Amino acid sequence: MSELIFAYQDSGEEMTLNMGPQHPSTHGVIRFIIKTDGEIMHEAVPDVGYLHRAIEGIAEKCSYEGFMPYTDRVDYVCAMTANHAWAAAVEKLADAKVPERGEYLRVISDELNRISSHTVALGAMAMDIGATTPFMYILREREYVNDLLEMLCGARLTYNYHRVGGVGWDMPTGWRDKVLSWLDHFEPIIDEFDRLICRNELFIKRLANLAAVPAAEAISFGLVGPNLRASGVDFDCRRDVPYSVYPKLQFNVPVGRGEMGAVGDSWDRYYVRLEEWKESVKILRQALDQIQATEPDFYTRPKKLKPKGDAMARVESARGDMSVYVVGEGTTNPYRAHFRTGSFNAMKLIQAKSRGLMVADLVALIASLDIVAPEIDR
Amino acid sequence: MGWLAILIPLVVFVVLGFVATLLFGWLIPALGGDLHSWYAALLKAAFILLGFVMPLAGVLTWMERRQSAMMQDRLGPNRANVGPVRAFGLMHFVADALKMLFKEDFVPANANKLLFALGPVMAIAPVLITFAVVPWGSGVCAGHLTDRLTDGQLAQCLDTGGGRFQVVHLEIGLLFYFAIASLAVYGATLAGWASYNKWSLLGGLRASSQMMSYEVTMGLAILGAFLVYGSLEPATIVQAQGDSILHWGVVTQPLGFVLFFTAAIAETKRTPFDIPEGESEVIGYFVEYSGMRFGMFYLAEFMEVIFTSAIVATVFFGGWQIPGLHADGFVAGQMPHWLVCTLQFVAWAVKVFVLCWFQLMIRWTMPRFRPDQLMRLGWKQLLPASLANILITAGVVLALMPGAK
């Protein structure tokens, strides 16, 4: 990064702009070094690392179970799937069993968290485009999800709910009905939100054809999750790398169709998330139905957690394929842990796509990739 | 409680209108003053600015937040109070003003001190000046407050010795407004440049390009109304819209109204045209300003909203006219002069208030344009449309008015 700054020579044509680390629409402490000619960018170079807290290093100092609260901090907007990824990886490594009810509770909490994560993504995106009202409307729904998750595990943001071998608590009495009644309330809201902003002329103008990523390019950049699917690649870990009880659930995988412009443009990335809400609702209804038939046991604590070898688990987080690779050496602590997250790869894409965009477009592009700063740096 | 939101402004407007009528129709003449003199003009300016515009601008800062809160299912600022009087948190704008006055006045180290200080002044002064041409009532005929005047008598009285409810009666009225309003761009651009900050510079450049582009459309859009009413003098334009609602500018010039209103909102630099501010992109040309200097930009923005409403009401919504209301009431000899004056002021104020409310609605509904889209809209869509509007209007006027040739 320093080379980039010091190699810069004033040609009299370009202006170097420092966007961040403190900028309202970089979604956290991220810095972009932008070379612009007026409004038009020549290049935007992302400078990551301002939020690096060595979470993977901390893993080596913690026990397998003790590391669980730290995984919340990997992606605080969708902490539940990070929990899930870590638990799944360690279970694979230690060959631990999870009761069926525990798996269902994991899926239910994951999907609730996915919905709330997408509310932040879409609301913040509308706000970055300049429309503040959709943000308020949809964050209201996030409050309901937070309430539900608080009833489930006592926390509203960093849940620490999943355990190696299950989940921390069973769902409280009456919780299932509360979730179901909230889903009835939320489903019409999806359409309301669609009408409120997605079909707005100005909104489409800002996003259609902006930074379109063709399927091949998306794969080569290693995009995952909704960003990848928006480019028309039909891949979802929940379906294609089956884990937990997802094989027992019926759901579609929405992909970008280029409705408003090229396939894989920012509008597609936006709309895929909106469609994922509908799928999450579908999954939640089935899971809440099927969980009634399970045994009451939801957590089997592994007797001795000193595994040897390595394992990798892939989980579909709200920002896509979150993979955890963990190496054990037969001690209580992992020898090495690694989180592969979606936002980090998306950052590289920004640099490639930034040439010729306007400064205002960069904000929309960052928002459309749904970047969460701690997920980049970990 | 919703009816209070309608009742309170209405009561305030009635009181204001009555005060203006008494002040210019009785007090000044009774003290031996001349209503055509410079001090009468100064008093009129003081009345309209300090009595109506400034308080309304202050209230709008609160109203915008409260209205957006209502739209967004929030409560908004509702806590500020004076002792037990809370009044829906209306005192927030006083609290805001106090905060800004006592806040540190920060000047960046490398800023151009003179221009940095000049920026807010250049932003707020033109808006204040433009209010000089806005008519807020037909005018009051001194010494005849309780009489029942006919339209002819009133017109004669206003020409000879009466006080028009307008600071200056300029024949070039609307041109004066364009001339002064175009100075406001210097405020934004100077502020952006003098702050010595690349972001504010971008904001200032955006502001200058946007405001210059949209001034063209604004001027051309109002030319249609000029052709229809045959005058650039706002009071004369209002006079011509009196008889029925069909004579209002919005009926005779619907396209002109849409074009002018759009361009005028762009001039106020508010969403969807808030790219000079663009709080999620360039943060704005006033990013380095704090305290009351920022407060002046803030106030200027809301006064521009009021002014936009005032000029739109004047040209397109019949200004102070109530359809069918003559100088002596709806039927001859029905109302005394003072009541008509008060009613006309209330009609004007209500129109301005409703248009302000409408602008706030737009502000919180729309996303923001991208700079190039904004330019494209301005030059490739609004400008040709306003030219077409002039041509069509001119053709219709030529065909309908034999004397126009």
List of long-range contacts for B250-258, beta carbons under 8 Å, 24+ apart: B250/B316, B250/B317, B252/B225, B252/B228, B253/B224, B253/B225, B253/B228, B253/B316, B253/B389, B253/B393, B255/B224, B255/B385, B255/B388, B255/B389, B256/B221, B256/B222, B256/B224, B256/B225, B256/B316, B256/B386, B256/B389, B256/B393, B257/B312, B257/B316
User: How far apart, in whole angstroms, are the C-alpha atoms of residue A213 and residue A231?
Assistant: 6
More confident residue, B5 or B352: B352
Residues whose CB is less than 8 angstroms from the CB of residue B167 and which lie 6 or more positions away in sequence, other chains included: B41, B44, B45, B48, B131, B132, B133, B134
Q: How far is CA B339 from the centre of its chain?
A: 24
Distance from CA of A358 to the nearest CA of B (A): 8
pLDDT digits (tens, 9 = 90+) for B361-372: 888 888 888 888
By mean pLDDT, which of A317-321, B148-152, B256-260 is the weakest?
B148-152
- Which of B368, B373, B374, B377 would you mutate first to test chain A, the one with the most A CBs within 10 A? B368
Give the model's pLDDT for residue B402.
Answer: 64
State the pLDDT confidence band at B165, using cuts at 50, 70 and 90. confident
Percent of chain B with pLDDT over 70: 98
Verify whether the Cβ–Cβ distance A360 to B275 is below 8 Å.
yes
pLDDT digits (tens, 9 = 90+) for B55-86: 888 888 888 888 888 888 888 888 888 888 88
Residues whose CB is less than 8 angstroms from the CB of residue B323 and which lie 6 or more positions away in sequence, other chains included: B242, B243, B244, B245
Question: Using alpha carbons only, what angle is made at residue B4 by residues B3 and B8, rounded to the nearest 5 degrees?
Answer: 130
By mean pLDDT, which of A23-37, A181-195, A328-342, B108-122 is the weakest?
A23-37
Verify whether the Cβ–Cβ distance B280 to A358 is below 8 Å.
no
Letter string b/e over residues A42-64, b meaning 16 or more CB atoms within 10 A of that residue's CB: bbbbbbbebbeeebbeebeebeb
Is residue B1 pLDDT above 70, yes or no? no
Is residue B2 pLDDT above 80, yes or no? no
Domain that holds residue A106: 77-304
Handedness of CA B390, B396, B397, B399 (dihedral sign): positive
pLDDT digits (tens, 9 = 90+) for A310-362: 889 989 888 888 889 999 888 888 898 888 888 888 888 888 888 888 888 88
User: How far apart, in whole angstroms, are the C-alpha atoms of residue A378 and residue A340?
Assistant: 10
Query: Which residue among B198, B280, B370 places its CB closest to the CB of A25?
Result: B280
Is residue A205 pLDDT above 60, yes or no? yes
State the pLDDT confidence band at B403, using cuts at 50, 70 and 90. low
- From chain B, the residues in CB contact with A130 under 8 A are 271-272, 274, 278, 280, 366-368
Task: Tell me what the mean pLDDT of segment B154-164 comes to.
Answer: 77
Give the model's pLDDT for residue B7.
Answer: 84
Residue A22, CA distances (Å) to A8, A31, A49, A349, B153 in order: 22, 8, 13, 21, 66
User: How far apart, in whole angstroms, are the C-alpha atoms of residue A347 and residue A49?
Assistant: 12
Is residue A8 pLDDT above 60, yes or no? no
User: How far apart, in whole angstroms, are the C-alpha atoms of residue A188 and residue A285?
Assistant: 15
pLDDT digits (tens, 9 = 90+) for B28-49: 877 877 777 788 888 888 888 9
Number of domains forming the structure of chain A: 1
A263 inside domain: yes
Is residue B193 pLDDT above 80, yes or no? yes
Percent of chain A with pLDDT over 90: 9
User: How far apart, in whole angstroms, are the C-alpha atoms of residue B122 and residue B115?
Assistant: 10
Q: Order of strands, edge to edge, in the sheet holding A15-19?
A: A15-19, A31-37, A40-47
Question: Using alpha carbons only, what angle is made at residue B159 by residues B155 and B163, rounded to the nearest 5 degrees?
Answer: 90
Is residue A12 pLDDT above 70, yes or no? no
Give the model's pLDDT for residue B162.
Answer: 66
Closest chain A CA to residue B370? A360
State the pLDDT confidence band at A243, using cuts at 50, 70 and 90. confident
Query: Which residue among A136, A202, A363 places its CB closest to the CB of B366?
Result: A202
User: How far apart, in whole angstroms, are the C-alpha atoms of residue B383 and residue B377?
Assistant: 8
State the pLDDT confidence band at B247, using cuts at 50, 70 and 90. confident
Verify whether the Cβ–Cβ distance B365 to A133 is below 8 Å.
yes
Task: Tell me what the mean pLDDT of segment B146-170 comes to.
Answer: 79
Neighbours of A21 (CB within 10 A): 16
Verify whether the Cβ–Cβ distance A39 to B281 is below 8 Å.
no
Is residue B388 pLDDT above 90, yes or no? yes
Helix (H, G, I), strand (E, B) or coil at B394: helix
- From chain A, the residues in CB contact with B207 under 8 A are none
A372 inside domain: no
Query: Which residue among B272, B278, B365 places its CB closest to the CB of A360?
Result: B278
Task: Tell me what the mean pLDDT of segment A229-248 comes to.
Answer: 87
State the pLDDT confidence band at B386, using cuts at 50, 70 and 90. very high
Query: Which residue among B279, B280, B364 places its CB closest to the CB of A133?
Result: B364
Mean of all residue pLDDT scores within chain A: 86
State the pLDDT confidence band at B391, using cuts at 50, 70 and 90. very high
Residue corresponding to tokens 């790869």:
A345
Residue by residue, DSSP assigns B54-98 as HHHHHHHHHHHHHHHHHHTT---S----BTTB-GGGTTHHHHHHH
CB A190 within 8 A of CB A274: yes
Verify whether the Cβ–Cβ distance A360 to B371 is below 8 Å.
yes
Domain that holds residue B288: 2-404
Query: Which residue among A24, A39, A200 places its CB closest to the CB of B371?
Result: A39
Is residue A54 pLDDT above 80, yes or no? yes
Query: Which residue among B73, B366, B373 places its CB closest to the CB of A131?
Result: B366
Give the model's pLDDT for residue B111.
Answer: 86
More confident residue, A310 or A261: A310
State the pLDDT confidence band at B387, using cuts at 50, 70 and 90. very high
Number of domains forming the structure of chain B: 1
Q: How many CA atoms lie within 13 A of B39 on its CB side?
A: 7
Verify whether the Cβ–Cβ distance A202 to B278 is below 8 Å.
no
pLDDT digits (tens, 9 = 90+) for A149-200: 999 888 888 888 888 888 888 888 889 899 999 999 999 988 888 888 888 8
- Which of A10, A22, A35, A39 would you mutate first to test chain B, the one with the most B CBs within 10 A? A39
**What CATH number corresponds to the domain at position A198?**
1.10.645.10
State the pLDDT confidence band at B142, using cuts at 50, 70 and 90. confident
A21 inside domain: no
Exposed / middle / buried, residue B144 (Cβ in 10 Å: 0-12, 13-18, 19+): middle
Q: How far is CA A220 from the centre of its chain?
A: 20
pLDDT digits (tens, 9 = 90+) for B259-286: 999 999 988 888 788 888 877 787 888 8
Backbone angles phi, psi at A272, to 5 degrees: -60, -40
Distance from CA of B108 to the nearest CA of A (A): 17
Give the model's pLDDT for residue B36.
Answer: 77
Task: Tell me what the mean pLDDT of segment B316-341 comes to.
Answer: 82
Is residue A210 pLDDT above 80, yes or no? yes
Verify whether the Cβ–Cβ distance A360 to B274 is below 8 Å.
no
Handedness of CA A196, A182, A236, A83 (dihedral sign): positive
- From chain A, the residues in CB contact with B73 under 8 A are 136-137, 140
Give the model's pLDDT for residue B196.
Answer: 87
List of long-range contacts for B248-254, beta carbons under 8 Å, 24+ apart: B248/B316, B248/B317, B248/B318, B249/B225, B249/B315, B249/B316, B249/B317, B249/B318, B250/B316, B250/B317, B252/B225, B252/B228, B253/B224, B253/B225, B253/B228, B253/B316, B253/B389, B253/B393
Mean of all residue pLDDT scores within chain B: 86
Verify whether the Cβ–Cβ distance A39 to B202 is below 8 Å.
yes
Give the model's pLDDT for residue B355.
Answer: 92
Task: Tell me what the mean pLDDT of segment B223-249 comes to.
Answer: 85
